[in-house]
Structure 1
């Protein structure tokens, strides 16, 4: 008697545990929501999770939080129906049913088909959130720029310097912007709003050899820009020295040009003066004449008187 009672209690406990597990699975199914993304104009299949429809299955597909019935399969009555005239006929000629699995197929999707879809059957209940991305809304290419005003050394006592970068995109929505080092994610930022601008900073060593890339993506596609450190990153000392060197080189060129101009002008002036002097001077061949010796002529007077000469002692 005691053995039979113990066996019965064990069976009751096992049955209770099985029921709890079943209920937990049902409620978990009610709360779980599967996200599905698609581009406008494409088709999507909402999978029922069934391999085959059973003889007594009743499958109902509903749309929106108001649970509007849009499709139905009744295996017991061997009937199928799509209600594409509801909700202002937004599903007109766009709904199909897989008669083997009960999955719902939506074709030529537009943005008005985005929302909550609910599957309910005898054995399964599933929720889907459908996101539709506009075909014309392309993802922009991320732009990487350097923030030169943030050029700073990694520490006050270290000569190693860092380069501050910013990756940015404009007019985006429902995207994630990320920095990658090789294949490793460094940082990311996500946004669910429409037409917003995003920017994500990054600081690297200017001599670093690792590969970095900035990626923007949504569930449909992505765009990537790779970082070229040699073009965007320079040391602070180099960035300050370049303008000074350029100014010095420019001044030297100006002084050299002025000096050459003065020398050329002086040489030209000297040549002009020499030409003027040559024009004013006339050279004549000298002529030499032989001079004849002149003999003095003494005239004798007709009457000469001689006077005595007295000598004194």
Structure 2
């Protein structure tokens, strides 16, 4: 009963500040999804009359009382993923999820009252960027430049708080960033077919990155064939059309000559009969 009353008082103290505890600085912590998060109280050893309570937002999730008994208050959200160090009162969350992001506060009451606050950001694993090439819609443009260049597109899906960039060696050529969840993130690049620079597409966030290296010989070879194919097809079509026009012209000439000869023959026969 006594422990329940103390727990109620602590929650009440957190909400309305009846103990007048000064708010400490917020410490920002980033952790990768699936890893374990460790939040330290800064206490070397809990004294017999100490009481430590951890909160996530406005919810009391667990506490450590003077008997070193752990009571979890939010099992539906964290289940058995919460671990408390009985020596220091530090909190560990295993197999952390992106939904676990938020403010975590440790309230400590003993000979003195203190509080530690952590702003936790759980970052999802980054997907590997995919690079694809495609033929321009008009491969034989007036400038002719598109025929000698390969158009590439680097893409990722379902990312947030990340940046997608094209690199030539160690130099950034272009980049695009997203803060909120995005269905698709794409970045184009145009290179020469014979370009020997080491190109790569990199997706990164504050604590990790994924890189896909460009193989120009593999990706751009297909596009080059497509352009050549397009040019060859166009040439064949032009040749066939020219041949058809030539045949039609000859046919017209033959018909005209045959018609004239037939007309002359009819006239000659008519003159003889008269």
Q: Specify the TM-score bucket, using the shorter chain as the normaliser.
A: 0.5 to 0.7
Partners of 1:60 and 1:206 in 2: CA distance: 63
Deviation track 1:220-248 (CA, whole Å, cap 9, x = no partner) reads: 765432212334458x9997665444666
**What pairs up with 1:137-176 in 2 under 5 angstroms?**
139=127, 141-146=129-134, 148-149=136-137, 163-176=150-163
Give, in angstroms, the shift of residue 31 of structure 1: 3.9
1:61 corresponds in structure 2 to: 54
Give the TM-score normalised by the residue count of structure 2: 0.56
Deviation track 1:31-54 (CA, whole Å, cap 9, x = no partner) reads: 443233322xx5332233x26136
**Residue 93 of structure 2, aligned match among 85, 90, 106:** 106
Larger radius of gyration: 1
Secondary structure, counterpart of 2:217 in structure 1: helix
Give, in angstroms, the shift of residue 63 of structure 1: 0.5
Give the TM-score normalised by the residue count of structure 1: 0.50
User: Is the 2:29–2:120 Cα contact (8 Å) retained in structure 1?
Assistant: yes
- Aligned-pair RMSD on alpha carbons? 4.4
Partners of 2:214 and 2:184 in 1: CA distance: 20
1:11 corresponds in structure 2 to: none
Secondary structure, counterpart of 1:69 in structure 2: strand
Which segments of 5 or more consecutive residues in structure 2 lack a partner in the other structure?
1-21, 244-274
Give, in angstroms, the shift of residue 104 of structure 1: 0.4
2:30 corresponds in structure 1 to: 35
Higher RCO (CA < 8 A, seq sep 6+): 2
Partners of 2:199 and 2:93 in 1: CA distance: 40
Secondary structure, counterpart of 2:197 in structure 1: coil
Give, in angstroms, the shift of residue 171 of structure 1: 4.1
Partners of 1:173 and 1:47 in 2: CA distance: 28
Number of aligned residue pairs: give it.
211
Partners of 2:181 and 2:224 in 1: CA distance: 42
Which segments of 5 or more consecutive residues in structure 1 lack a partner in the other structure?
1-25, 256-313
**Residue 125 of structure 1, aligned match among 97, 116, 132:** 116
Secondary structure, counterpart of 1:90 in structure 2: helix
